[in-house]
Amino acid sequence: MRYQRLTTIEKEIHIARQSINEHFDRLERELLRELQTTENNERKKISKILASVERKEKEIYELQASLALIKKHASDLQTFLVSKQIEHELVDTDSVVQSMQDNNELLDVNISLKTDNTVKGVNIYILRFGNIVGQGYVYSETESQAAQANVADPNATTDNNEN
């Protein structure tokens, strides 16, 4: 009977530990999912910015190529008009880049973890699962006789004299 009670208490302790482990595992999975989502969102933002910059770079390159051709084959007036168009495109590109800077889109991305203070102190705040409490117990007549026999003969062993 005593062994059965100890086993029951051990199972309760194990269940409590398992419940805590499952809770922390769930919190970890949620945090890792959040990290993955944040990283994916930041990666998408960076990809959009790079695509925009590459598109503007390509437009500028094409305008420069056009200007070079026009300088070879066109009049000074045509060259001047195309150079003004290139200048306008450069101003637009500069505006786009400036807008990205103003909106903090060009800042380095720093993903970090801010740990909740209660998690940092979990080993301080949670010192025990619970307490083992001894309560009054009414012995059966057999257990009482065995206890009396142990008192009379301390070297005698019975099933109730477990460690």
Assess if residue 93 is contained within a domain.
Answer: yes
Give the amino acid at 130: G
In this model, does residue 160 exceed pLDDT 50?
no
List pLDDT tens digits, range 45-99.
Answer: 888 888 888 888 888 788 778 778 877 777 877 778 878 888 887 787 778 777 7
Assess if residue 67 is contained within a domain.
Answer: yes
DSSP string, 100-142: HHHTTTTSPP-------HHHHTHHHH---S-----------HH
How many Å apart are CA 155 and CA 163, to the nearest integer?
A: 14
Domain count, the chain: 1
Assess if residue 86 is contained within a domain.
Answer: yes
Question: pTM for this one?
Answer: 0.57
Contact by Cβ (8 Å): 71, 79: yes
Domain with 99, as residue range(s), is: 2-107+117-132
Assess if residue 161 is contained within a domain.
Answer: no
List pLDDT tens digits, range 84-139.
Answer: 888 887 787 778 777 777 776 666 777 888 888 888 778 777 777 777 777 665 55
Q: Give me the residue label for tokens 């309760």.
A: 12
Assess if residue 99 is contained within a domain.
Answer: yes
Assess if residue 159 is contained within a domain.
Answer: no
Assess if residue 27 is contained within a domain.
Answer: yes
Instruction: Kindly indicate the confidence band of residue 149, based on its pLDDT and cuts at 50, 70 and 90.
Output: low
CA angle 64, 69, 72 (to 5 degrees): 130
pLDDT at 48: 85
pLDDT at 56: 80
Assess if residue 160 is contained within a domain.
Answer: no
